[in-house]
A = this chain, B = another copy of it.
Amino acid sequence: MKYPNNIMKSNKKAINYSNRGMDLEELINETNEYYLEKDKALIFKKPTPIGISEAVYTPRGRIIKNGYFKSPSTLDYNGIYRGKYIEFEAKETQSKTSFPIANFHEHQLKYMKRVLNHGGICFVLLKMNHQVFLIKGEDIISFLEEETRKSIPYSYIVEHGKTIEEKWNPSLDYLKIVDEIYLKGENI
């Protein structure tokens, strides 16, 4: 499973909403629904591509009897916000010290660079050490180009990433950070 129900469940009394036990994908989906309702942005998780080896026709439509998951070559989410193309990936790691690059498929990293070259906004939302960070695609790429290490140290993430507070409705207001780091100075 890509996003296990994670380590954040706790019996401590919570004053923020980060202890609801939602994994990152759930938080993002909930947030995207909120954005959609408020007409703030149109951002969706792309359906996982499926290969079909066997399908049958039934009165209720075509049914898959044998299907498999293909590995994605692009990123998890895309859409439009304030006229801009946005594409991003969500990742969680239970490591406290570094984020292994192997969490990405090779072609996803290449694709990230292409989105940036085409003028898109591209980033990673990373859940690590009980926090969610937005890390710009540019910072992931430049780490990979300058370093030979196979994982990004937590210190690099803290230095280059922006933390996104988990709160109530929307759960994870990442577009606030997008405004701050990409769109500041533009009229809304």
Contacts and interface: CB of A to CB of B under 8 A. Distances in A.
A63 B74 contact: no
Nearest to A84: B85
A65 B65 contact: yes
A85 to B, nearest CB: 4
A80 interface: yes
A50 interface: yes
Contacts of A65: 65-66
A105 interface: no
A82 B60 CA distance: 42
Contact of A64 (B61, B67, B81): B67
B78 A67 contact: no
A4 interface: no
Contacts of A80: 85, 87, 115, 118-120
Contacts of A42: 74, 111, 114-115, 118, 120
A165 B49 CA distance: 30
A66 B68 contact: no
A50 B74 contact: no
B62 A63 contact: no
Contacts of A50: 47-48, 50, 64, 67
Contacts of A114: 39, 42
A26 B185 CA distance: 43
Contacts of A61: 68-69
Interface of A: 39, 41-42, 44, 46-50, 60-69, 74, 78-85, 87, 111, 114-115, 117-120
